[in-house]
A and B are shown apart, each in its own frame.
Chain A
Amino acid sequence: MVQRQYEDGIVPGRLSPGDYVQNFADLHPPLDEHEARVEADRCYFCYDAPCMHACPTSIDIPLFIRQIATGNPLGSAKTIFDQNILGGMCARVCPTETLCEEACVREAAEGKPVQIGRLQRYATDAAMGEGKQFYGRAAPTGKKVAVVGAGPAGLASAHRLAMHGHDVTVYEARPKSGGLNEYGIAAYKTPENFAQAEVDYVTAIGGIAIEHGKTLGRDLSLSGLAEAFDAVFLAMGLGGVNALRAEGEEAEGVENAVDYIANLRQARDMAQLPIGRRVVVIGGGMTAIDAAVQARLLGAEEVTICYRRGREHMNASEWEQDLAASKGVTIRHWLQPKRVIAEGGKVAAIELEYTQLSDGRLTGTGETLTLKADQVFKAIGQTFEPSVLNGSGEAIALEAGRIKVDEEGRTSMPKVWAGGDCIAGGDDLTVSAVAQGRDAAESIHRALMG
């Protein structure tokens, strides 16, 4: 097979088949029983443990680790699922280095936290591996709840609602459930179709019907749902992508990182995925890292992340930045896109302007830099598209461009709750979406049964 590694332009098959397999293998291979026992032994079983407080879903981490240490992985899994039914995915994708593991007292003690994420995966894998279901459904309440979006928030709420005896219908715009677990998130964090396996595990409780290809604002209206159901939970995530606001961004080869990643996640054969020889990613968050790293793994020769502020301002954790660096991605700071330079309608280079902070404001210095590029990924944030709510009954109050909710997840509209990335004030984490879905479900349950 001809290696196309150094071919200019956006082409597939830059690597040999074996390279793709290796590159997209599990980033953190699962712990085996011995490794899990050794790691579990490191946990101090802290009082009112800081790791628990750092977990958005408040998993009783010391307890689940102690259950692993005592040879009770199923009990451990139940401790996790009690708080977070998507504990399997969270074990894989949580930025633990900024959550539980950052708070671990052994991080303070010796700079080496207990590997909580990997232990959580060990326990949840044990339960899911044998199809062990811990929860049954309460007696039917006769209440019906609509959930919009089958992502982490939607699934978590659906599970909890079904558990309480309500009948749940989930409307999902895409052909598959899972949301960003299925269409976002780097492939090497969730290989072997784990996202779908988890959807099956969660919905196995029963009482959850998922209708795919149903988009709010197109196939459904909020007022219609509010009328037909006893309650509605909105968890449709973010639909829009921020623009570069750089001249020439319509050139061929300038793409949304989230679309590229979604495409990659659905690809059966990575060798079929075209990727540029020189790739520039604009942005500083997790999406930028995921796009850049996967571009490298697909065989791009040069991948550069350009972020308009400093290292310390990046939303991607230090650990993620280090991961990118270890995969050969160059991260450059204090650069903002100015102009996409196209040749024959295709991107050939990108001109960037150096930036600086003066009096707390980011300004261009006027000096520029041009990087050769045959592919540019935009990863500068996603936005909520309120148009899906428009014209479907009473307007729902927004805040900072997203849906405004109270502490229980209630929107300004009666019978309507919301959670996940579409609400204001969140941190765009899978685990937070799960917490919001779960808590909104409890709130809905109280409201319906009150």
Chain B
Amino acid sequence: MADIRSNFVGIKSPNPFWLASAPPTDKAYNVERAFREGWGGVVWKTLGEEGPPVVNVNGPRYGAIWGADRRLLGLNNIELITDRDLYLNLREIKQVKKNWPDRALVVSLMVPCEEEAWKTILPLVEETEADGIELNFGCPHGMSERGMGSAVGQVPEYVEMVVRWCKQYTRMPVITKLTPNITDVRKPARAAHAGGTDAVSLINTINSITAVDLDNFAPEPTIDGKGSHGGYCGPAVKPIALNMVAEIARDAETRGLPISGIGGVTTWRDAAEFLALGAGNVQVCTAAMTYGFKIVREMIEGLNNWMDAKGHASLDDVIGRAVPNVTDWQYLNLNYVTKAKIDQDLCIKCGRCHIACEDTSHQAITAMVDGARRFEVIEEECVGCNLCVNVCPVEGCIDMVPLAAGEMDRRTGKVVEAEYANWTTHPNNPMKAAAE
């Protein structure tokens, strides 16, 4: 059995699956249920400063988009940080940590961007014996209007400043949670790194309006006829999150900075992908909010089985393994030529590959061969774009098969060369001379 125990910036957990700071981690009741199902850790829902708690709207807090059969693909929320009393939360955190010493318990924090505010709250959290803190620089709604959350995360100088305060006033590991609502996520990551953060976690949610109520012409979720942008998460955001994680993992300035991967993790496979792109662990929310805490069992088993099957003994064998393969477009091998190949035994003849290619791409798939409905790739036209693979409803029915060196590409009439050659040296590149 593979060892999936996790040690993330010194915070140990029996597996790399943490629940992200969100409604599922707002109180002891939920967190203990999660631990009973096997979650390795939680980031407690964001605490604010002492005083009257924030209030939430009393109408809908969530909006969503769905795929076929109403499978939830993306969720959006306008909930704020915890609306429970600070000391109630702190007491529960302390008790839960005592009850579950082997699980990771990190506390998310968001207080005004003033040194005193942070200096005040940090000892209170430390007293709970929680394992660490996560700085919520991400929430894109509500709190940001009050100068917190993403309003901080969008200004690298603020990020660095707050991280510095936290490192100064607490012994606890500091995880800085980044907002994706920014042009270049490397900038705040570098700032957090400069401020001395122990790790970054990303992504927080994305500014979004999920839908418009066409009867009332109001954005959803709609509160008394009005709507506000909320934070988008769930499977739909995973590709954005993976890219941002990879950008930080391969950045010269932040390389090696521990990353907690967040964004649409729903299955063990999603988690493994984040790990491969450099995340040390993952945080999950939407999947739990969709299916309940039990999904972690599939994640644990699935990750274990995959690692066993591939001979990966521990998480360290997986973490960051895909990072060296993330590169810039200009370094991709232009001598790598693929052609789509349709497995006629698996083909169910829906014709979606044909119409996608015919209407929107390169007219490289037949609809009819010798008077019979048959979908075959016309190699002379196929540019190897992969669209047919993406629209085919049968997994594995269409493959992109690389041509071997020496074979002729029937589209270009050129023989495939064995040598790697990219855009930087391509004759069509006007910058080629400059590069040389």
Contacts and interface: CB of A to CB of B under 8 A. Distances in A.
Contact of A105 (B69, B70, B348, B355): B348
Interface of A: 37-38, 41-42, 44-50, 105-106, 108-109
A105 B68 contact: no
Interface string B49-73: 0000000000000000000111000
A34 to B, nearest CB: 9
Given A47-B355, A50-B373, 13 more contacts: A37-B70, A41-B68, A41-B69, A42-B68, A44-B393, A45-B352, A47-B350, A47-B352, A47-B367, A48-B351, A48-B367, A48-B373, A109-B348
Contacts of B352: 44-47
Q: Which of B70, B348, B355 has the most CB of A within 10 A?
A: B348
Interface residues of B, number: 14
Contact of B69 (A38, A48, A49, A108): A38
Contacts of A108: 348-349
28 contacts: A37-B70, A38-B69, A38-B70, A41-B69, A41-B70, A42-B68, A42-B69, A44-B352, A44-B393, A45-B352, A46-B351, A47-B351, A47-B352, A47-B354, A47-B355, A47-B367, A48-B351, A48-B355, A48-B367, A48-B373, A50-B349, A105-B348, A106-B348, A108-B348, A108-B349, A109-B348, A109-B393, A109-B394
A42 B394 CA distance: 13
Contacts of A48: 351, 355, 367, 373
Contacts of A44: 350, 352, 393
A101 B167 CA distance: 66
Contacts of B70: 37-38, 41
Contacts of A42: 68-69
Contacts of A109: 348, 393-394
Q: Which of A47, A50, A106 has the most CB of B within 10 A?
A: A47
Interface string B360-379: 00000001000001000000
Interface in B322-353: 348-352
B278 to A, nearest CB: 36
A62 B70 CA distance: 19
Contacts of A47: 350-352, 354-355, 367
A38 B352 CA distance: 21
Contacts of A41: 68-70
A109 to B, nearest CB: 4
Contacts of B351: 46-49
Contacts of B68: 41-42
Contacts of A106: 348
Contacts of B373: 48, 50
B155 to A, nearest CB: 43
Shortest 8 CB-CB distances between A and B: which pairs? A47-B351, A47-B355, A41-B68, A46-B350, A109-B348, A105-B348, A108-B348, A105-B350
Contacts of A45: 352
Contacts of A105: 348-350
B72 to A, nearest CB: 14
Contacts of B69: 38, 41-42
A46 B367 CA distance: 12
Q: Which of A38, A46, A50 has the most CB of B within 10 A?
A: A46
Contacts of B394: 109
Contacts of A37: 70
A108 to B, nearest CB: 4
A50 B69 CA distance: 23
Q: Which of B350, B354, B355 has the most CB of A within 10 A?
A: B350
A41 B71 CA distance: 11
B352 to A, nearest CB: 6
A291 B349 CA distance: 38
A42 B349 CA distance: 15
A170 B426 CA distance: 77
A75 to B, nearest CB: 15
A48 B393 CA distance: 16
Contacts of B367: 47-48
A47 B350 CA distance: 6
Contacts of B355: 47-48
A108 B69 CA distance: 20
B382 to A, nearest CB: 18
A45 B394 CA distance: 14
A211 B350 CA distance: 47
A50 B350 CA distance: 8
A356 to B, nearest CB: 36
A6 B68 CA distance: 52
A287 B160 CA distance: 83
Nearest to A34: B70
A65 B351 CA distance: 17
A74 to B, nearest CB: 16
A71 to B, nearest CB: 10
Interface string B5-42: 00000000000000000000000000000000000000
Contacts of A46: 349-352
Interface string B381-397: 00000000000011000
A41 to B, nearest CB: 4
Nearest to B347: A108
A44 B354 CA distance: 13
A49 B373 CA distance: 10
A114 B394 CA distance: 16
A49 B352 CA distance: 10
Nearest to A45: B352
Contacts of B348: 105-106, 108-109
Interface string B122-144: 00000000000000000000000
A369 B70 CA distance: 57
Interface in B68-83: 68-70
B197 to A, nearest CB: 44
